[in-house]
Amino acid sequence: MSGLNLCLSLAVVNFQHCKDLVSLAPLTGTPMLKIVDVRGSGVRDISGIESCTSLEQLDVGWCDQLRSLASLARMSSLRSLNANRSGIEDITGLSTCPQLVSVKFEYCDKLLDLSALAGAPLLSAINANHSGVRPITGLSDCPLLEDLKLEHCSHLWTLSPLANSPMLRSLKASHTGVRDVLPLFSCPRLETVKLKHCSQLKSLSGLAGAPALRLVKAGFSNVRDISNLAQCVALTTVELDHCEWLTILSPSTGAPQLQRIGASHTKVRNLDGLRYCSKLEIIDVRYCPVLTDVSPLSRTPKLRIILASHSGVQNITGLSECPELQCVEFDTCRNLFSLAQLAGAPLLESIKAASSCVHDLSGLNTCPKLTSVDLEGCKQLATLASLAGAPSLTTVNAANSGVQSIEGLGACSQLKTVFLDSCKDLYNLTPLSAAAHLEVIRVSRTNYSDAECPPRLRLLLLLNDSKEEDNGDELHNNSGYADFWD
């Protein structure tokens, strides 16, 4: 690098992964230098870089021998600093960089304190995920701080230094020791809070009335009550999955913009407080064993998706009145015996009730948009006659069920795929011969008579038997909705 400082027009220097490079001194005084990238190099000393008055961007990530950034103090043009996975422990003076906008200290386990950033006039983004940071003293004095990432900072216990942060929009502090969110009450622009896996967190009351709050993720914490979120007028999404002490979802008449709720693997027992959430679109209450009744959702005019598999649901009264309902999932709901309450749902496209106790499908053929029904493993289901003539139905999975009769399926004009594997009491496939668009039929381990099977069906069976892939498992496992959070 010797002599580079004599290159008067030099603007960019890139020496990534140069292990023999230990110092930036050869760059001293390079007048037009704007970008320096020595990521993964052997740099341990950046002395001299302070004389590069045009420097805007510095990357010293993965420089594990580098301990101090003090040489950057008062650098007038520096805007972006990346020190991810470095050996940094001293960031003294960074608050005196008048143009500094973004700093990254991910996986800097020797960095224990961010107070040296206090008062940085233009600093808007700090990423210190997986660092050793403990106190965050003075960050509220960064007048333009918007985005703060402190995830996996296991020694972080309090958010108090963030009180009155005027521009803070996003806080992500999952996998920390944070105990409460009360200091966030005074952050007027806060939109996103992510505090997953914070086992000491029991309440979200500090977020009550937050005027700009849109997204809260506090899954795997010990949050027990979300009633205070009702006062958050901009709130659209709440995720509280695996909060095992959560028993009630009760935003009630508040949270007027609430669209998505995730409360799977909780002890939620009723949904009464959601009946007036006029914007609610998606609710996830899978693995909620004490939840028996989803009928309060019948009054939610925008509801599109209900995920309630492996729950105690038995009452789905009124769901047909949800004008925008598209998908319901009730797999392994052992107390659910009838889907008749879905009859006539105008936009319903997909029903999943595999391994449930459903035996009554009355009226499902009156759902004009219904395309897919999954009833695999429903041992009490004897007939599919209630699906007869369903105008949009393309796929039926009743494998390993108690089905004995498929009368009427041939009248489903759009039917393409039928799975009836392991239906031991099924003897007659003739009703399917009228299904003009049928492409896939699986009937292995059934007792149908090949001699009585119409020629077209016999050909389809031969073609499908030659395929190795198990389309039935694919239908059962891929809902297309279950991972909506991502």
Instruction: Give ∠ CA 316-317-320 in degrees, rounded to 5.
Output: 95
Cα–Cα distance, 11 to 4 (Å, whole number): 11
Please enumerate in sequence order all residues whose Cβ is within 8 A of that of 77, keeping only pairs 6 or more positions apart, or say none.
34, 53, 54, 55, 56, 99
In a domain, 305, yes or no: no
478, pLDDT greater than 60: no
The stretch 149-156 carries a mean pLDDT of 98
Q: Say if 443 falls within a structural domain.
A: yes
Return the SS3 of 455: helix
**Count: domains in the chain:** 2
The b-or-e profile of 191-201 (16+ CB within 10 A means b, else e) is: bbbbbbebeeb
- Which token pair is 161? 């230094």
CB-count burial class (<10 Å; 0-12, 13-18, 19+) for 271: buried
Q: Which of 125, 145, 165 is the last residue of a domain?
A: 145
How large is the average pLDDT for residues 378-398?
A: 98
- Domain membership flag for residue 79: yes
DSSP 376: T
In a domain, 67, yes or no: yes
Q: What percent of the chain stands above pLDDT 90?
A: 82
Where is 442: in which H helix or E strand? strand 440-442
Contact status, residue 187 vs residue 159, Cβ threshold 8 Å: no
**Is position 94 within any domain?**
yes
Of 122, 145, 168, which closes a domain? 145
Q: In whole angstroms, what is the distance from residue 137 CA to residue 90 CA? A: 15
Look at residue 479 and tell me whether its pLDDT is greater than 60: no
At 182-212, the pLDDT tens digits run 999 999 999 999 999 999 999 999 999 999 9
Q: What CA–CA distances, in Å, run from 224 to 100, 306, 324, 448?
A: 40, 22, 31, 54
- The count of other CB atoms within 10 Å of the CB of residue 448 is 17
pLDDT of residue 468: 43
Domain-embedded: residue 215: no
Q: Is 71 inside a domain boundary?
A: yes
Q: By mean pLDDT, which of 43-52, 82-91, 216-225, 464-473 is the weakest?
A: 464-473
Which secondary-structure segment (H or E) carries 118?
none
Average pLDDT of the chain is 92
Closest residue by Cα to residue 295 from 342, 329, 251, 262: 342
Q: What is the CATH number of the domain that holds 55?
A: 3.80.10.10
CB neighbours of residue 9 within 10 Å: 8
- pLDDT of 463 higher than 70: no
**Gap between the Cα atoms of 275 and 240, Å rounded:** 19
E strand or H helix at 64: none
Residue 230 lies in a domain: no
Domain finish residue from 145, 179, 209:
145
For residue 467, pLDDT beyond 60: no
The mean pLDDT of 79-93, rounded to a whole number, is: 98
Q: First-to-last CA distance in the chain?
A: 46
DSSP classification of residue 293: B
pLDDT band at 447; cut points 50, 70, 90: confident
Beta bridge partners of 419: 397, 442
* Residues 27-62 pLDDT 10s: 999 999 999 999 999 999 999 999 999 999 999 999
pLDDT at residue 254 above 90? Answer: no
Among 55-59, 143-147, 434-438, the least confident range:
434-438
Q: Which residue range forms the structural domain that includes residue 134?
A: 8-145
Is the confidence at residue 476, as pLDDT, over 60? no
pLDDT-wise least confident of 60-64, 104-108, 198-202, 424-428: 424-428
Residue 142 contacts residue 136 (beta carbons within 8 Å) = no
pLDDT at 450: 67
Residue with tokens 């510095």: 58
Give the mean pLDDT of 3-7.
62
